[in-house]
Homo-oligomer: A and B are copies of this chain.
C-alpha cells in the first residue's frame, strides 16, 4: 500500500525526520510518501499557526487523492485538519496524536504526554477529550523546547525531555509516555531504554494503524459526518477549490 505522510509545517528537516520514523516501522510492501505543504508556517505552536497550516494541508491531501494513495497521515501532534481531510478523501486519514493515544491505551491504564511548548497543552487536552482518552491520561507536560530546536537536539534538550518524563512517571503515576511532537520520533528507543517504560511515537503508531485499516478493508465512513463537502464557489487564493 501507499501511505502519504504529511508534515503540516514547512520545515524540510522535520519532514525528513518523520519520513525516517515512518519507514522504520512500515511493512516491506508499504510505500511511504513523505510530504509537506508549499505554504504556511515553519512550525505549529499556536491556534493561529494551526489554522494556517490546516488550510495549506488541504492542498497536500488533494495531491494525495490525485496520486491515489491508500491512506493519509497527518504528522503533527495537534492532528490539524483531521475532520476536513476525512471529508475530502475517501481513504483513511490518521492523526499522529490519536494514533499514539490508541496504542497507549492498549498497553497501559495511565499514560502521560510529554510535549514541546506549554502553549500546545490546551490542544493536547482537547484531543484527549475528543477521542475519549482523558480518563487514561495521568498528565500532559511541556518541556518548553521550541519545535524548531528539536531538529538539532543537543544533550541539554534531551535532558530536559528526559527529566519531564521522569516527573510524569514519579509524580503523576504515568505507566507509559506518549511523545507529543512528530519531531521527537528519533528519541523513542533512547528514552524507553533510559526510563524503562513504554514510549510511544505517533508517527510510527499511525503507520501501523493505516496498514491495519488497509488490510481489514476499512475506509472512512462517507455516509454521515465525513461526507464529501458540497461543491461550491471559492474565490481569491482559494479559487482552485471552486467546483460550482
Contacts from A to B (Cβ < 8 Å)? 10, 25, 27, 37-43, 45-52, 54-56, 58, 81, 83-84, 86-88, 92, 94, 98, 102-103, 105-111, 119, 122, 131-136, 146, 148, 169, 173, 175-176, 196-198, 200, 204-205, 208-209, 211-213, 215-216, 218-221, 223-227, 229-230, 232-238, 241, 244
Contact across chains for B216 and A41 when beta carbons are under 8 A apart: no
Contact across chains for A48 and B229 when beta carbons are under 8 A apart: yes
As for how many copies of this chain the complex holds, the number is: 6
Contact across chains for B221 and A108 when beta carbons are under 8 A apart: yes
Q: Which residues of B contact A197 (CB under 8 A)?
A: 221, 223
- Choose among B88, B205, B238 the residue that contacts A39 (Cβ–Cβ < 8 A): B238
Contact across chains for A224 and B88 when beta carbons are under 8 A apart: no
Q: Known contacts A131-B105, A173-B224, A238-B39: does B55 contact A88 (CB below 8 Å)?
A: no
Q: Which residues of B contact A81 (CB under 8 A)?
A: 51
Contact across chains for A235 and B176 when beta carbons are under 8 A apart: no
Contact across chains for A229 and B109 when beta carbons are under 8 A apart: no
Contact across chains for B227 and A41 when beta carbons are under 8 A apart: no
Q: Which residues of B contact A50 (CB under 8 A)?
A: 84
> Which of A25, A176, A198, A212: most chain B CB closer than 10 A?
A212
Q: Which residues of B contact A42 (CB under 8 A)?
A: 232-235, 244
**Complex: A241 Cα to B43 Cα, angstroms:** 13
